[in-house]
């Protein structure tokens, strides 16, 4: 997303009251941050995404993290959820 805060604001705006949003992503410490940025990726950590969700008025933010293993490689999966409560 070019502007993650604007994207979260738009998602919040179109959601019904008491609806839940769940964002899931993989954390990969082996990614070359500069290479990803050169391809227009925004790399955010869990705290940054939570902050954006909070700034977009999502309430009752929770997170769940789990380590996944595939082909002898490990990475962390994260799920963040929040509610629209007006």
6-32 pLDDT per residue, tens: 999 999 999 999 999 999 988 877 777
Query: Rounded to an integer, what distance in angstroms lies between the CA atom of residue 57 and that of residue 8?
Result: 9
pLDDT recorded at residue 41: 76
Q: Given this model, what pLDDT does residue 7 score?
A: 95
66 contact partners, CB below 8 Å, separation of at least 6: 76, 77
pTM over cut 0.85: no
**Cβ–Cβ contacts within 10 Å for residue 56, how many?**
20
pLDDT tens-digit profile of 28-76? Answer: 777 777 777 777 777 788 999 999 999 999 999 999 999 988 888 888 8
């Amino acid at each position: 997303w070019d502007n993650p805060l604007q994207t979260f604001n738009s998602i919040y705006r179109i959601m019904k009251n008491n609806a839940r949003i769940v964002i899931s992503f993989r954390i990969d410490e082996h990614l070359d941050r500069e290479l990803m940025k050169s391809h227009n990726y925004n790399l955010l950590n869990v705290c940054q995404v939570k902050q954006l969700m909070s700034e977009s008025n999502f309430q009752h933010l929770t997170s769940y993290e789990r380590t996944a293993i595939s082909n002898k490689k490990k990475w962390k999966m994260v799920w963040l959820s929040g509610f629209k409560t007006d």
